[in-house]
Structures are given as C-alpha cells and as structure tokens.
Amino acid sequence: MLLAVSLTGFMTSSGIETNQTNSSFDMNGTIIRVLSPSSIVIGRVAVSLDEVDASGLNNCAYSYLMDDLEYYVGKDVIVKGNKVYLALNGAYNSESINEKIQREISMLEEEQEYGNLCKSLYYEGYLGYEERT
C-alpha cells in the first residue's frame, strides 16, 4: 500500500496524469514549459489557455511577460477544459492561471500607454538593449 502511494506521488510530481484526479477536472500534472502567454505544456500535453490575449503587447512587454511566466514552470496544476489552476495540497486555487496571466497582460498594456514601460524595464535590468523597442 505504501509503495502504491509513493508511486502515485511520483507520477503526479513528474507530470503524469493519475486516476486520482478529482472527477470535476480533466487532468492534473506539472507545468513543464511555457510556449506563449496562452499556451503551456503540462506533462506531455500542450494546453491552450482560454481568455488569454497578449496581442496588444509590444516586443519589450511581451519579452518581460514571457520571462515572468517562467515562475509557473515546475508548478503542479489541475485542468478543467482550457482553464488551469494551481494545485494546492488536496485543493486548488479558485483563480485560474488564465485569469492571473490576463490580469498581468492588462497591467502591461496600461503601462505601455504611458510610453515609459520599455525604458523602465531596460534600466531596471529586465530587458536587454535589443528588447527595448
């Protein structure tokens, strides 16, 4: 019995879907890679995130966002449709990762309107010279 529990824990932490996924969710796993603000890889499956649109970001804001989204790599998640939630010991965060990413995109778009976003990110060390535009 202990071996079965250990194997289940290993399979979950390595991004492999298990049968113990809450029946209201489609799958669980670990984020392996962020392909774009609206696409992540969980285990071996690419998931397109609903309601995430980064098309209004310029190059430097997009680069900053992609660097920031690396935070999610290695996080355990559960998936319902195209909504992804952080998995928390036996529970989940009620705000989806989709909503968090879109909120950050909206904040970056607002900062772009003031015109100083790229220069600020460059001087704060977040962007290289070529990413300032």
pLDDT, block means (10 residues), the chain with 133 residues: 36 39 80 98 96 93 93 96 91 90 94 75 60 46
**How much is the pLDDT for 132?**
44
| Cα-based angle 37, 40, 42 (whole degrees, multiple of 5) | 160
What whole-number distance in Å separates Cα of residue 89 and Cα of residue 59? 37
Containing structural domain, residue 99: 2-131
- Cα–Cα distances (Å) from 104 to 37, 62, 98, in that order, read 10, 11, 10
pTM comes to: 0.72
pLDDT at position 67 is 92
Domain tally for the chain?
Answer: 1
Give residue 125's pLDDT: 64
Q: Find the helix packing angle between 59-69 and 97-114, rounded to 10°.
A: 150
- Residue in this structure with the two tokens 């194997």, named with its chain if needed: 7
Q: How far is C-alpha 14 from the geometric centre of its chain's CA atoms? A: 17
